[in-house]
């Protein structure tokens, strides 16, 4: 499944917007060339005090653009990025700014959320590679009012989990 060319300028989640309660599970999905103010590829948001659950397996988030969270914007949620036959990756996403207090998190913007990635890179490609943020966190930007955690766990000993060429 490919989700491409979505345009939510001035809104959230150019490719996918999953808010409030309810689980979301994506497997072998490509989210490419989408635009939004927050979460160019994906916007995942739960309510304060609730724990929205999201699972990503073999998901490619590529060439998405947002003011913040070019690839994915996560707020008040738990995201599990797990291993499958295909690797997960965030490549070429951009947080371009343009709104007040924006321009952070080229690949991921994590706010009051938990992201656990148990995956690996394929060949010389990175898990998080060649993403851009106008202000901070070309790869990952973490902001916390409550608690935010990002765990990156390599699941194959001889296949490193690469974060590379992010600016």
pLDDT 10s digit of each residue in the chain, 167 long? Answer: 999 999 998 999 999 999 988 899 999 999 999 999 999 999 999 987 667 899 999 999 999 999 999 999 999 999 999 977 777 899 999 999 998 889 999 999 999 999 999 888 877 888 999 999 999 999 999 998 778 999 998 888 777 789 999 99
Contact 101, 65 (CB under 8 A): no
Q: Record the pTM.
A: 0.94
User: 3-state DSSP: the chain helix, strand, coil percent, rounded to 5?
Assistant: 0, 50, 50
Contact 67, 40 (CB under 8 A): no
Strand partners for 17: 43
């Amino acid at each position: 499944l490919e989700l491409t060319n979505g345009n939510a300028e001035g809104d959230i989640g150019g490719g996918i917007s999953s808010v409030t309660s309810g689980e979301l599970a994506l497997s072998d999905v490509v989210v490419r060339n989408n635009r939004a103010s927050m979460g160019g590829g994906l916007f995942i948001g739960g309510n304060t005090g609730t724990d929205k659950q999201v699972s990503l397996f073999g998901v490619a988030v590529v060439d998405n653009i947002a003011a913040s969270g070019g690839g994915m914007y996560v707020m008040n949620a738990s995201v599990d990025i797990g291993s499958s036959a295909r690797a997960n990756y965030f490549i070429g996403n951009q947080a371009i700014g343009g709104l007040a207090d924006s321009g952070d998190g080229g690949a991921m913007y994590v706010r009051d959320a938990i992201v656990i990635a148990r995956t690996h890179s394929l060949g010389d490609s990175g898990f998080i590679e060649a993403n851009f943020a106008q202000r901070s966190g070309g790869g990952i930007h973490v902001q916390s009012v409550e608690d935010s955690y990002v765990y990156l766990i390599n699941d194959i000993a001889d296949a490193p989990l690469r974060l590379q060429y992010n600016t």
